[in-house]
Amino acid sequence: MKKIFTPLVIATAVLFAAALVLIARVPPESTMGLVQKIFYFHVPSWIGMYAGIAVCAVASISYLVTGRPAADRLATSGAELTVLFGLVGLVTGPLWARKAWGVWWQWDARLTIALLLWLIFVAYLVVRKYGGPGAEKLAAAVALFGTAVSPFVYMSVNIWRTVHPLTSVMPQLPKSAPEMVPPMAASAFAFLLLFGVLLIARIELGRRQAAVDELYLAHEEGAA
Amino acid sequence: MGPQREVKMFFRVALLVLRKDFAIEAKSREILTTTLLFAVSCVLVFAFALVKEGEAPPDAAPAILWIAIMFSGTLALGRTFERERYGETLRALLLAPAPRPALYVGKLLGIVLLLGVAELVLVPLVAFFFGAPFFVQPVLMALLLVAGTVGFAAVGTLFAAMLMRVRTRDVLLPILLYPITVPVIIAGVRGTAALLASPPDEVTATMWLAIVVAFDVVFVTLSLWTFEVLMTE
């Protein structure tokens, strides 16, 4: 993993720089103007959050079945990135909404679903931090239940409410606004690469922490 | 053991756990009393927060009913497992040569029954205070309550059991439980509100009921599977 890490960091940095240039060069959107550009960061951050959920869910199930510490470390990394990318989405969304809708927050389906899923993974991290010994299994169950509940959240909240611009805007983008596609794609890939870089770094950190803990234990046993 | 005997054994263990909880509770009535009083206090607090000029806002009754059920359910879950922790009795149960999922089912039935009794008081009380016609569609209303309670208790029992070993269990239980049981509260409140509308909207209520039943099936199954894994040290 170390071998690909440095090239990956460089690629991420280059793509981010390119994305910024592309975003700056796209002409402002006709009705929303400059605020619309926030969407080049907003959408990719949600892509990052859902990638984090997927990583955390798969790793948690694998941990519950196999009990391998590496799966647990991957799950933690995924959950932390879920919360991080989700936070970017939760901050950029209201900034745009204040201009576009006139309010910071709407109890709309997509917003509510994202907030709920984000909260579940915040709870995951809280369990890990304050759960004491055995918290890994507990947290894995939270991730499993959190993922299993998402279709229900999706269904119930959708029936309950809907105002967000449909995500079906995205596939139509090449036709409706072709000039927006390159910056969007660059930004989305940059965010995904960043996700990969952070994931690898966080897994490596977890691995080293585990190694240090083992050394401490060995040292104390030797001293006693 | 043949599969038939295994199934028999499973239900026997579940019913034994339920009978044990019932026997303790019948003697002290501690959890039932505190849960009921807490539920009534909840209703009052919400009444004072929401009622303006003697009138509750429309749709307040179903919201208050379901919030009271969820809050008092959280309290009851905490108390039931505190009792097990204090006597180290769940550990003893786990050591017994009994199928672990049966222990879960036994505890779940106990919580559902307890909340069912609480609802027998809560529903008339909310109907009385807010003039809510809960009894126009008694069958659908009862089904919605049962399905919602089972869904909430299914997740709650598993989480309360696994949090037993954790020092911060009191505060972690609602933190974990509420985001995951959001579909139950949405479906419960919207379904009840549909039944309270005049004329009652059975189609909408049935749709919400179906969602809660699907939730119950998924989460009881998942809990049965994870209980074994989670309670093994």
Residue B123 pLDDT: 93
Q: Do A64 and B187 touch (CB under 8 A)?
A: no
Torsions phi, psi for B52 (to 5 deg): -125, 130
Q: Which of B165, B167, B179 sits opposite A119 (nearest CB)?
A: B179
Q: Dump pLDDT digits (tens) for A126-169.
A: 999 888 787 888 899 999 999 999 888 888 887 876 555 555 56
Dig out the tokens for B30 from the structure.
């501690």
The domain total for chain B is 1
Whole-number Å distance between alpha carbons of A217 and A169: 55
Whole-number Å distance between alpha carbons of B230 and B233: 8
Q: Do B226 and A152 touch (CB under 8 A)?
A: no
Residue A166 pLDDT: 56
Chain A residues within an 8 Å CB radius of B230: 137-138, 141
Whole-number Å distance between alpha carbons of A156 and A159: 5
Query: A186 exposed, middle or buried (CB, 10 Å; 0-12, 13-18, 19+)?
Result: buried
Tell the residue number behind the tokens 């106990």, with chain if given.
Answer: B110
Chain B residues within an 8 Å CB radius of A123: 175-176, 179
- CA dihedral sign, ordered B162, B233, B105, B113: negative
Q: Do A156 and B155 touch (CB under 8 A)?
A: no
Q: Dump pLDDT digits (tens) for A59-105.
A: 999 999 998 999 999 999 999 999 999 999 999 988 888 888 888 88
Give Cα separations from B46 to A18, A77, B50, B121 (angstroms). Answer: 54, 40, 6, 17
Neighbours of B45 (CB within 10 A): 14
**CB contact, 8 Å: A127 with chain B?**
yes
Cβ-contact A118, A82 below 8 angstroms: yes
Residue A23 pLDDT: 84
* ipTM of the complex, rounded to two decimals: 0.85
Alpha helix segments (H runs only) across A131-180: 135-160, 169-176
Name beta bridge partners: A33. A29
Neighbours of A204 (CB within 10 A): 15
**Buried b vs exposed e over A7-24: b needs ≥16 C-beta within 10 Å?**
ebbebbeebbebbeebbe
User: What SS3 state is found at B96?
Assistant: coil
Best residue in B172, B204, B228 to probe A by mutation, most A CBs within 10 Å? B172
Residue A70 pLDDT: 93
Whole-number Å distance between alpha carbons of A90 and A74: 24
Q: Of A69, A87, A68, A67, which Cα lies nearest the Cα of A79?
A: A87
Residue B1 pLDDT: 57
Q: Dump pLDDT digits (tens) for B147-191.
A: 999 999 999 999 999 898 888 888 999 999 999 999 999 999 999
Q: At what angle do helices A135-160 and A69-100 cross, to 10 degrees?
A: 30
Torsions phi, psi for B197 (to 5 deg): -65, 155
Residue B116 pLDDT: 95
Residue A172 pLDDT: 67
Q: Do B155 and A138 touch (CB under 8 A)?
A: no
**Contacts for A189 with CB less than 8 Å, ≥ 6 apart:** A15
Residue B115 pLDDT: 94
Mean pLDDT of B183-208: 90
Whole-number Å distance between alpha carbons of A216 and A196: 30
Parent domain of B60: 3-230
Q: Dump pLDDT digits (tens) for A3-30.
A: 788 888 998 999 888 888 888 888 777 6
